[in-house]
Structure 1
Amino acid sequence: MEIQLPRGTRDILPDEVASWHFLEEKFRSICENYRYSEIRTPIFEHTELFERGVGDSTDIVTKEMYTFADKKGRSLTLRPEGTASVVRAFVEHKMFGDVNQPVKLYYNGPMFRYERPQGGRQRQFTQMGLEAIGSDDPSIDAEVISLAMNFFRSIGLKNISLIINSLGDKESRLKHREALIAHFEPRIDEFCSDCQARLYKNPLRILDCKTDHAHPLVASAPSILDFLNEESKDYFAKVKSFLDAIGINYTVDPTLVRGLDYYNHTTFEIMSDEEGFGAKTTLCGGGRYHGLVQEFDGPDTPGIGFGMGVERVLLALDKAKIEIPDANPLVCYVIAAQPEVEEKIVQLVNRLRMHGISAEKDYQKRKLKGQLKDADRKKAKYTVIIGEDELRTGEYTLKDMATGKQFLVTEDELITTLEKAEGDK
């Protein structure tokens, strides 16, 4: 039997990796500019972490997790999202005692969900995200949203839109919950089995159902915004005023509830409107959570964060026809005019690399013309040709591949010229 990739996974081949590096470096750079620090958590955790943290009424926990027993019978799960692991680490390492609050963390790594593979969505996918834990100041909600919006702008995406909502505090959510139950209960038998199970457990999830999203009762469901108490209204108003102050446009959508149980107050999604996606596609989603740290036996500590799938962002870049710059172009291709100078070629390529210059040579015993073609295919900025005459005189022919200009340089002059080119790339 031919061994192939498991369904829902993919190989990221060398000609694609530059795009991943581009996104990862942009995300790292903007996070650190906002004073977020990287955290790396395990790929698998105890299953209970996600049952308690993500919510046992969510599709993620009930349908999509990769769960297995280890050799001692303990239930472990490949992480399906990043927030629960980061909050677990926040509690376990007592970061709530850090003098610098809030604790601002970002992450980037593989996640796993058993769902139907489709464009921009795989069973193993990569998620970048962040968490700001330890502040209930609405200005940090605006900061987190601003960071996400600025990231998308920095990679060239222009046709994006921000959707926001408020789920209110615990009191507001309880009143809204009672109204949702009263709304759906008389006709709940018209909904899928998942929605029927959620009616009394978490009726808010009915609004997020993929199966029954077009049911007329979903469209006419009571709006959470009508149940916000004064404190929740004031909080949401401040978030919107801060977004206005920094020039970020948004649309309020009272049906935006997100798919995780731990959200309250601010929730948001950033959508791509790029032609070719069809309907608007979510690139990034997140929100505020109060109570999640307590769920993991930590002190009462508020937080806010977001996550985005790298594959979907790359798809958006492709639809927008945004060309990813080559972060590591070849600076110099060293060409052997005769086979007799091969030892010198090896020595010079090594010396260039020791000086931090990206250098390459031929390994297929090509003739001079073939080496020049290979240098062109590899988009070398410069070529340097060395033959027996060059060895004798100590001067090499350096060619600028963009202009076609050629000039003679000594080996030291060659290194000086190429070091400048490396610095400019």
Structure 2
Amino acid sequence: MPETPSRPLRFLFGRGTWPEARRIADVLRTETVGGALLLGAAVLALLWANSPWAPAYQELGSITVGPAAWHLDLTLAQWASDGLLAIFFFVAGLELKREFVAGDLRDPRRAIMPVAAAVGGMAAPALIYTAINATAAGGALSGWAVPTATDIAFALAVLGVIGTHLPVALRTFLLTLAVVDDLLAIVIIAVFYTSSLHVLPLLAALVPLGLFAVLVQRRVRSWWLLLPLAVATWALVHASGIHATVAGVLLGFMVPVLRRSEGPGPGLAEQFEHRWRPLSTGLAVPVFAFFAAGVSLSGAGGLGAVLRDPVTAGIIAGLVLGKCVGVLGATWLVQRATRASLGDGVSWWDVLGLSLLAGIGFTVSLLIGELAFGTGGERGDHARIGILAGSVIAALLATVVLRIRNRHYRLLCADEERDTDADGVPDVYQRDSPPPS
């Protein structure tokens, strides 16, 4: 039987429930495809930016469209980072709220570990970057938050390819860590990367946001009512000086998770997530990556000089070493504080692999890099190279560790997953032992 909330945490990586396992599998399938599109867009941008047709790539991102009267005359690159990424953060907001209201992580005992890991995974990279750039000139310290983010699409895509037999609890851990990471990243963007704040547009944004909240709380699904309010909220937040992606998270938090009736079926947040996640992973994030990842690798002094820049070195060290130390260290501290076991068959090698995988900091890191160093400058290019290099190194190291562990779990999972009744639920999710954490 499930443990009561008053009992202590027994397993850090408990099996969880079958509905949650099935949902995580669906998310992984979507993110695997989205990660492949993201990778393809980034590779295309790099090839184009380093080809004889590089000026055409720069000109494409500089095309300006939008109404100047509303201060929305933005370049295509700005529309990708300010507009399309708001969809990504809207889905992240839906996912985070669903996890803590109706998911397995509504139990604080289960939530503490991925939340602590996300905090540790942001603090350690920031400290390492700051230590490397403490004496660097030219505003290098403004990029302290660049290596703190984990790319949910890339990380889950890699996990979906190399970790097909890893326990669902490990996948849930990485997904929740990445979602909490996104929330913390958007707080950092709002607090530390808002150069000027205009109060009137920010207060005005509360009107469409409030109307949106009232409608969704009444379970209104009509796009012709909700979409204009969402766009108005986004435009006013953008005009306030706060990065417009904050509006996406706020809108996601407004959507109710639970159904009004007791009948079966998904809540409104899950329905919206199902509709908008393909647009986020299939269009918004790849298009942003296309405009953000195109950096020339033949800068002044060559690639060697770029890698010796403290900004580049700090980002790479933060993503590869900082993320690993922060996530692994925070998980170890939770284990020591709660005296809980890792879980049935779960090893610290698994946690090490996931900690390395958390160092894939592509999408949000590129966004913070733009806010910290701007676009088109040498420092901004060095930051992008550091993000790309650090993410690739982290992915390769994680692949080595998790592929070994995946072969181990493939043998263990074969019999369990085959043992399924006519109800379609594997018997392992219906046994009393081992109990869920």
TM-score exceeds 0.5: no
When normalised by structure 1's length, the TM-score is 0.22
TM-score by length of 2: 0.22
Q: Which has the higher helix share?
A: 2
Select the structure of larger CA radius of gyration.
1
Bigger relative contact order, structure 1 or 2 (CA pairs below 8 A, ≥6 apart):
2
Name the one with the larger strand percent.
1
